[in-house]
């Protein structure tokens, strides 16, 4: 959420959002698997103009040995918004925001990866936001989840993530750019597949308890739809006789 300077007069006109969507409608989504030839595992995910790509390396020997965990693998996650991902060039390198999002994504993924299967090793998870139009951490987490599966790393299930927000007094699914910049609330959520298990609940703003319950319900249903897109991308990738082709789902 950003400054109110330049905010539109209305976010909802005749029951539709400024981009023509219904209140509970996603932007067009797409997913792709094994798109990086040099990475053991890779995945892409987009919410229309928000595009994320992820590469996964490992499990591999972890150095220095003195920092190895004798009981499980160590996850290293790096989330980055590349300089040309927004209208204004982003300064290269780490920022407080990217460090915080990297930590949030790592902690979410740690809840589904069978880390105890690979003691004394490390897994590197890189996420680049190629284009940003809100919900970047959600797209990045979805891409990373696909990349981990593509790398052959055992996990309980895919993690599926989406955002819910509040703008113009209405609860909205899949927050877009204007809604993110000028809206009242932003809520990033991730679930383990279609289960009731949440691995990310990150709320920025103030809501009533009833609004919160509505946002949780909407986000859970939304994550289920994201999960279907991810599954279809994996099916396309690994269907019999087509293992050398990229899998893409829309």
pLDDT per residue as tens digits for the range 67-89: 999 999 999 999 999 887 876 66
Residue 219 lies in a domain: yes
Does pTM top 0.85 for this prediction? Answer: yes
Residue 5 lies in a domain: no
Residue 7 lies in a domain: no
Mean pLDDT of 28-52: 97
For residue 1, name the pLDDT band (cuts at 50, 70, 90).
low
Q: Residue 58 pLDDT more than 70? A: yes
Which three-class secondary structure state does DSSP give residue 160? strand
Residue 26 lies in a domain: yes
Q: Which domain holds residue 67?
A: 12-238
Q: Which stretches of 2-101 are assigned E, i.e. beta strand?
A: 12-13, 16-17, 29-33, 41-47, 50-61, 74-81
Residue 213 lies in a domain: yes
| Count of structural domains, the chain | 1
Of all residues in the chain, the percent with pLDDT exceeding 90 is 80
For residue 152, name the pLDDT band (cuts at 50, 70, 90).
very high
Alpha-carbon gap, residue 175 to 14, rounded angstroms: 18
Q: What are phi and psi of 91, to 5 degrees?
A: -65, 130
Which residues are paired to 115 by β-bridges? none
The CATH code of the domain that includes 81 is 3.30.230.70
Residue 246 lies in a domain: no
Q: What's the confidence (pLDDT) of residue 224?
A: 96
Residue 124 lies in a domain: yes
Residue 115 lies in a domain: yes
Positive or negative CA dihedral for 167, 137, 163, 85?
positive
> Which residue would you say has higher pLDDT here, 250 or 41?
41
């Amino acid at each position: 959420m950003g400054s109110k300077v330049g905010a539109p007069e209305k976010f909802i006109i005749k029951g539709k959002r400024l981009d023509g969507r219904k209140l509970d409608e996603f932007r067009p989504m797409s997913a792709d698997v094994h798109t990086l030839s040099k990475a053991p595992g890779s995945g892409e995910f987009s919410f229309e103009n928000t595009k994320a790509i992820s590469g996964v390396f490992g499990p591999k020997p972890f150095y220095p040995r003195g920092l190895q965990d004798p009981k499980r693998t160590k996850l290293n996650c790096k989330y980055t918004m590349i300089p040309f991902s927004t209208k204004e060039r982003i300064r290269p390198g780490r920022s407080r925001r990217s460090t915080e999002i990297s930590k949030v994504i790592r902690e979410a993924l740690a809840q589904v990866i069978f880390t105890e299967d690979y003691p004394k090793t490390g897994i590197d998870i890189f996420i680049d936001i190629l284009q940003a139009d809100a919900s970047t951490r959600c797209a990045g987490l979805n891409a990373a989840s696909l990349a981990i599966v593509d790398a052959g790393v055992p996990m309980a299930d895919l993690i599926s993530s989406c955002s819910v927000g509040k703008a113009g007094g209405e609860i909205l699914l899949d927050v877009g750019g204007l809604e993110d910049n000028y809206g009242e609330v932003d809520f990033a959520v991730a679930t383990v597949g279609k289960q009731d298990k949440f691995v990310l609940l990150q709320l920025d703003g103030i809501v009533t308890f009833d609004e919160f319950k509505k946002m949780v319900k909407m986000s859970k249903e939304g994550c289920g739809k994201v999960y279907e897109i991810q599954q279809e991308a994996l099916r396309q990738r690994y269907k019999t006789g087509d293992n050398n082709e990229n899998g893409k789902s829309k």
